[in-house]
Structure 1
């Protein structure tokens, strides 16, 4: 028995927030419910009865272990304290790995009792949205699956009407087997690579950002639902929206066309006639249908012309309008047999080749979109997926001013709830199919069991891959956010799969989106030498982002990303809170074993430029300055060459599904770090920025309207807070462009030479309202931040008040003639424990306040009940060097 106090940190957080309801955009049954509680389980080696008997009252399973469904075997074991939390410290090493134990160790029976009967003439279905990897299913003594039920990425459904108990008391038993090939987690990318012989997750055998998942995510990992209908069931509706011409986000719109078809199934022995209809914006479109007995048919409804449509736009370009499309089948003279509501964004995705950049560009509603994206692996490595977590993570991407998430090919096609969140927040999705260059043979790799020729043929079952692709495409194709399909990560699938996708499956099921054959294909991007790739990775001099021309649509480029001390303490034992030591001569870091285990990536010399490290907490605090600078610089460097060198960039990566210490803008526990706010700054749609190489101040306008009569105000501050006005000048900028304004290199070099300086940029409208602002801290002539190391304490005051339920406004005010109050981390906390409220969303953070300036920060947070909250302010030069605790006024 293990005490998983730390391991249940996030589980407890979710439990405390279950009162928050997120409206799902997925099609929902008129009459249905989820079987998500009351499950029991036992390992197969401890069960002698077969499924026929287990699914009856003859076998008492009441004393079996409580099971988590949806969930994996490992999640159930963790929740029952049978294993330690694999996300904490070195605990993962104490959990048996399936490669060594054998598959039976993680092969489990799951049972569930539920009440249900079928009214005369009605049908009841049992639906599974995901089981890893194969299973046998029994209900009330009957085996439901006729053949092998295999495929992690296959939904499957059973009409259980004939098998329901007349008493209404039913018992379901499911035997779940692990992946056919579990792979040797030998430390390679995807272990020895054989995990890719399945059509499933590859990261579970380990990667350079995660340790192996010991059960390889075996289990009933996605939703199990009961769906009740009349005679006819509606399946896999497909909605297409056509938006011709070049549109603007505001003003009256020319018409759009709505096209809809759906699959109807009639399991009865009689012809069923009725009306298939859908309703949008108050108008009903319908068609009379007669369905043959025991048949399934795809029915196309008449096209509908939607007048003056409210369009859907990516984040930063316009609103995310969504329509409810209500689909219904009504038999003649009867109540509706089945119905569903789908949220639809009216928009059209286009792509074209940009000869100037040598890359593909994406347009929405006729307007091109400069792609600013983040690479996403999966929300939780143990598949503990939730609406709340999806909403929080996608919202963070919106808050970073990004407009795209790429879902990486070593994981899965994301769940509809993820796409719901992307629809809400305007995040386009670049969706990989299953495969990676690492496992699937792109490179020679001594860690792999099979040679490249063999790995190139993975997976073993090409038919299963194609069936799974068809099914998952149908599952998510109605989402406005889905923009790009991709054959795989850094490699195409085998040729027969690729041809089937390009020439049959996608043209037949979803022909309105761009399909790129692999993630860094030359069909997507070609550099001046004619090839494509990705990178650079790791920490970079800021000059690299501005001056080094990389791939014109870069699918992976990234840097560092550890969180601060509060975050690290959640998964690193106190004895291991030891800061890395970088050796200048060997260019290597001496790193604690737990930091290594959690995939620390080096900050090299960048931390020492802020002064000698005193502790792990000091290291992590200084790392936030580096984080902010790196990701602001990355976004600004790419944006500065928008439509000249680049049509887009996608950061590797923006989140971690495990407690890793690299490539993340927020930690696993949804606590943001300075990377997020550096990106928030550098990626804003209208932006003023500074080139650290030549001192040029530039503007970027991502929008579709010209911006005129703006005042650019350029000031410098020394370390004592003394202000120097360098210039102020009126300027304007045309849509979708960047513009160089002036260089301040000589002035800033001179001012910063001794101990560094601050550069303040503000872009004001005619009412003197700030449209964009930026504060840069400049190193001295030796490249060190010597002035920051001896900065005086600030004279900041802060107040906080509740604006409305679940929203707090924080006001920061700096005294006139004081020093700059630099780099303040604002945190919403429990007033008693001082622990941060997670998740919480800040409209800005890591705030610097100039002398005489006032700034306001808005914090949104989910309802946590009646706990008393407070705000802490912790800056670089906070008086007393301790965070200030601010009570919140009503």
Structure 2
């Protein structure tokens, strides 16, 4: 044998030995699995046996239907084709509602058969249910695990099932799930008749002005079910706090950060267990000897960890979102791991202070103030069909819109750890409401509600359950760097005893590093001196109003329209109902199809007509995209223009829909973006050049921590035929976190646009002559009509599409010199066989206009693993008939 072969053999032997030792020393730490397959269910009324019988492995369930877990009863019925898709047409209206059927109709048994060997030695086995809606009985192998009925959608369950595992290794879990009680009357009010809020659960399920009711009120085992193995000691509720003192810059060497770690260790055995609690970060370890008495849970605080020159976590647009991989272990004799948890740590510190200029609070991260640009989030899917992939796509869209904050609205839930994982990844600060709303919980007089305001003000019925649920959910998500704000409720505080418990006890004890807002439009957050409830408006507005009308200084809800384009509408509206709305300027009313009304269409009024009266639904939806783009660009620009003067932030109502609704969305339920997304992306750029429609000032906003110098500001107009007129070209600079006007051009623009309107091009170039902000406005004539657009010559756009790598397509759009503007082009990746759009696809930009003699490069990113063949690129524009192009 040669020396090289001998060395290879010995090296392989060493590696195998190391892996074997590692496997032994890790012990039980990685032995966890999710029960997400093999479930069956049956309606309780069809079963005469009790839980003790049903949970025995020999009880026959052959006739039961396949169940979706995690999921709801409706999800299971849909997956078994027992109901029609409630997101299509009027189908939801024909599904039996629990208010009419009674709760028994949606009360179901769920069973799962799983294999697990009989535990040996100190091995402990735990059953974890992360969420059941709403109450349940839990059985395993003929034994009842919960002594009394479990209540609460947001209260986790953990059972030590070591003593209940069958010797054969074959086991059955049976869970009887009851719906909320009361279920509420979905009478068309916000939260229906309000009774749904008597529970500690979801409120939107009884219907809202953006969704129809979920007929089973989302009854089911809606969140993950896990079986975990440990040694004698279990680790739980680890809490990591990062302190980053001082004012930090994004670049350069950092002063040290302080890491504080506490955790709970539990010993369910009959003997004292001694060991080492060990925390590892960045290759360094902090250890502490611990002795845990029998049948005891012990909170352990480890010594502070000093992290030198830390890589910091910053919100989107300000810096990187660096995450450290850390582990916490409990080691028993011979360094055997009894339990281990892996935690991603973002090193950052949150602060908040009162801005006396705006009369609102501002958020600081690592000592730097952050101008909040956010979107309101309801829930990823109205039927609770959550997935890592969908979370990633939705949060990525928010990142792409140049937002830095997501508010999780109070009529839904404390979002899942997987949501927070993705927000950590993409740099989204999270403003997390608890489960209260002004509508259902009594802020206003409401004839749709069953109970009066005094009664509703006391909701929910079980205050102790609410308080326990808050404490549990805080522990669930508190380690995420993206979590920035806790909020007592949407537009109203919880009842006083709950508020005091959360504010003065739970949060100080369990999570004292974050800002707590008592309710979403509290004067302590944003001083409301203008009357009303402090939110909105929510409808179509003149673009200039976002610049002119001073609203609440930290507006937690302000928004507009959000209609999908025609391809999107076809996904959920039957062909016979694809009838465009008819707006009457005389009566200021809109006639709409019944399906549009059912899916909560919100009117565009006369805004679409300014582009020429639509000829059909496709034309209407296409012109609506022009309105969409302008609305959300103007919203972001108007607020940014007044940052730190009028405002410390804005949060759009809303950026997504968990159902096929037709309002307040930057992308549809199927993850297809509309022009709202790209208008907002443009207007919310960290460094952005924009036109003030009030005084005609060209303004630059710098939403970064750096002074931007040697910026070439280029201002020009382009007429309908493509002729350019350079107004000015000048070097400028702008200070950090500020907005400043540079060039008043109102009169010049008014003269140019008077007859036919005009295009106004604003660009910023850096010293490398690279465009760092590109903003094109299409301005109407003196009468407010886009008359010039209506007679534009056809576009001469040239298109080249190239596959850069698997899943990445580069499209170059080129417009010849002396051609008209290639205006408002919508790019799509489509299946080469069906011509259907691929979803989701992430575009570096879209709804793109290319000036004469210019070109633009667009990157498209999609999951190529889902498709066998290379797709096509489809492009349609204002003056470019839809065409498809092969990808080279």
Fold agreement, TM-score > 0.5: yes
Kept after mapping to 2: 8 A contact 1:802/1:809: yes
Question: Match for residue 367 of structure 1?
Answer: 368
Alignment of 1:375-386 (within 5 A): 375-386=376-387
Kept after mapping to 2: 8 A contact 1:522/1:531: no
Q: Which runs of 4+ in 1 moved over 2 A?
A: 527-532
Q: Which runs of 5+ in 2 are unaligned?
A: 1-27
Question: Match for residue 864 of structure 1?
Answer: 866
Distance 1:43 1:254, change over 3 A: same
2 CA distance for matches of 1:259 and 1:113? 41
- Residue aligned with 1:446, SS: coil
1:356 matched to 2:334: no
> Aligned-pair distance for 1:530?
8.3
Alignment of 1:196-595 (within 5 A): 196-529=197-530, 533-595=534-596
Kept after mapping to 1: 8 A contact 2:57/2:171: no
- Residue aligned with 1:379, SS: coil
- Residue aligned with 1:278, SS: strand
Question: Match for residue 651 of structure 1?
Answer: 652
Question: Match for residue 188 of structure 1?
Answer: 189
Question: Match for residue 888 of structure 1?
Answer: 887
Question: Match for residue 109 of structure 1?
Answer: 109
> Any idea what the Cα deviations from partners look like across 1:15-73, whole Å, max 9, x if unmatched?
xxxxxxxxxxxxx9621010001100000010011010001133211221000000000
> Any idea what the Cα deviations from partners look like across 1:534-584, whole Å, max 9, x if unmatched?
112201001110011100000000000011000000000000000001011
1 CA distance for matches of 2:559 and 2:415? 22
> Any idea what the Cα deviations from partners look like across 1:119-163, whole Å, max 9, x if unmatched?
332011110000000000111100001111111001111111101
1:707 matched to 2:708: yes
1:56 matched to 2:63: no
Worse-superposed segment, 253-262 or 323-332: 323-332
Alignment of 1:822-861 (within 5 A): 822-861=823-862
> Aligned-pair distance for 1:93?
1.0
- Residue aligned with 1:747, SS: helix
Kept after mapping to 1: 8 A contact 2:697/2:742: yes
Worse-superposed segment, 861-870 or 325-334: 861-870
1:93 matched to 2:78: no
> Aligned-pair distance for 1:623?
0.3
Tell me the TM-score normalized by structure 2.
0.96
> Aligned-pair distance for 1:229?
0.6
2 CA distance for matches of 1:305 and 1:435? 40
- Residue aligned with 2:82, SS: coil
Question: Match for residue 723 of structure 1?
Answer: 724
- Residue aligned with 2:153, SS: coil
2 CA distance for matches of 1:791 and 1:776? 16
> Any idea what the Cα deviations from partners look like across 1:635-670, whole Å, max 9, x if unmatched?
000000010000000000000000000000000000
> Aligned-pair distance for 1:865?
3.6
1:801 matched to 2:805: no
Question: Match for residue 612 of structure 2?
Answer: 611
Kept after mapping to 1: 8 A contact 2:68/2:76: yes
Q: Count residues with an aligned counterpart.
A: 859
Question: Match for residue 16 of structure 2?
Answer: none
Alignment of 1:694-773 (within 5 A): 694-773=695-774
2 CA distance for matches of 1:29 and 1:311? 29
2 CA distance for matches of 1:588 and 1:416? 44
2 CA distance for matches of 1:577 and 1:528? 44
Kept after mapping to 2: 8 A contact 1:756/1:787: yes
> Aligned-pair distance for 1:299?
0.5
1:80 matched to 2:85: no
Kept after mapping to 2: 8 A contact 1:279/1:285: yes
1:777 matched to 2:785: no
1 CA distance for matches of 2:278 and 2:596? 58
Kept after mapping to 1: 8 A contact 2:57/2:113: no
2 CA distance for matches of 1:188 and 1:534? 19
2 CA distance for matches of 1:653 and 1:97? 27
> Any idea what the Cα deviations from partners look like across 1:727-764, whole Å, max 9, x if unmatched?
11111000000010011111111111111110000101
- Residue aligned with 1:714, SS: strand
Kept after mapping to 2: 8 A contact 1:522/1:532: no
> Aligned-pair distance for 1:304?
0.5
2 CA distance for matches of 1:574 and 1:558? 29
Question: Match for residue 68 of structure 1?
Answer: 68
> Aligned-pair distance for 1:531?
8.1
> Any idea what the Cα deviations from partners look like across 1:319-369, whole Å, max 9, x if unmatched?
000001101000122410000100010000000000011000000000000
Distance 1:159 1:388, change over 3 A: same
> Aligned-pair distance for 1:528?
4.4
2 CA distance for matches of 1:132 and 1:632? 40
Worse-superposed segment, 530-539 or 35-44: 530-539
> Aligned-pair distance for 1:529?
5.0
1:639 matched to 2:663: no
Question: Match for residue 23 of structure 1?
Answer: none
Question: Match for residue 873 of structure 1?
Answer: 875
- Residue aligned with 2:886, SS: strand
1 CA distance for matches of 2:215 and 2:529? 44
- Residue aligned with 2:83, SS: coil
2 CA distance for matches of 1:37 and 1:678? 42
RMSD: 1.0
Kept after mapping to 1: 8 A contact 2:29/2:338: no
> Aligned-pair distance for 1:612?
1.0
Question: Match for residue 8 of structure 1?
Answer: none
Worse-superposed segment, 148-157 or 865-874: 865-874
> Aligned-pair distance for 1:627?
0.1
Q: Which runs of 5+ in 1 are unaligned?
A: 1-27
Kept after mapping to 1: 8 A contact 2:764/2:771: yes
2 CA distance for matches of 1:119 and 1:828? 55
> Aligned-pair distance for 1:676?
0.2
Tell me the TM-score normalized by structure 1.
0.96
- Residue aligned with 1:336, SS: strand
- Residue aligned with 2:336, SS: coil
2 CA distance for matches of 1:532 and 1:703? 32
2 CA distance for matches of 1:747 and 1:532? 41
2 CA distance for matches of 1:89 and 1:583? 26
2 CA distance for matches of 1:419 and 1:185? 31
Question: Match for residue 24 of structure 2?
Answer: none
Kept after mapping to 2: 8 A contact 1:442/1:452: yes
Worse-superposed segment, 291-300 or 333-342: 333-342
Kept after mapping to 1: 8 A contact 2:29/2:337: no
2 CA distance for matches of 1:236 and 1:263? 6
Kept after mapping to 2: 8 A contact 1:526/1:532: no
1 CA distance for matches of 2:38 and 2:826? 43
Question: Match for residue 41 of structure 2?
Answer: 41
Question: Match for residue 24 of structure 1?
Answer: none
Kept after mapping to 2: 8 A contact 1:88/1:572: yes
2 CA distance for matches of 1:76 and 1:803? 41
2 CA distance for matches of 1:356 and 1:393? 35
1 CA distance for matches of 2:631 and 2:744? 22
> Aligned-pair distance for 1:527?
3.9
Worse-superposed segment, 58-67 or 574-583: 58-67
Alignment of 1:7-22 (within 5 A): none
> Aligned-pair distance for 1:467?
0.3
Question: Match for residue 9 of structure 2?
Answer: none
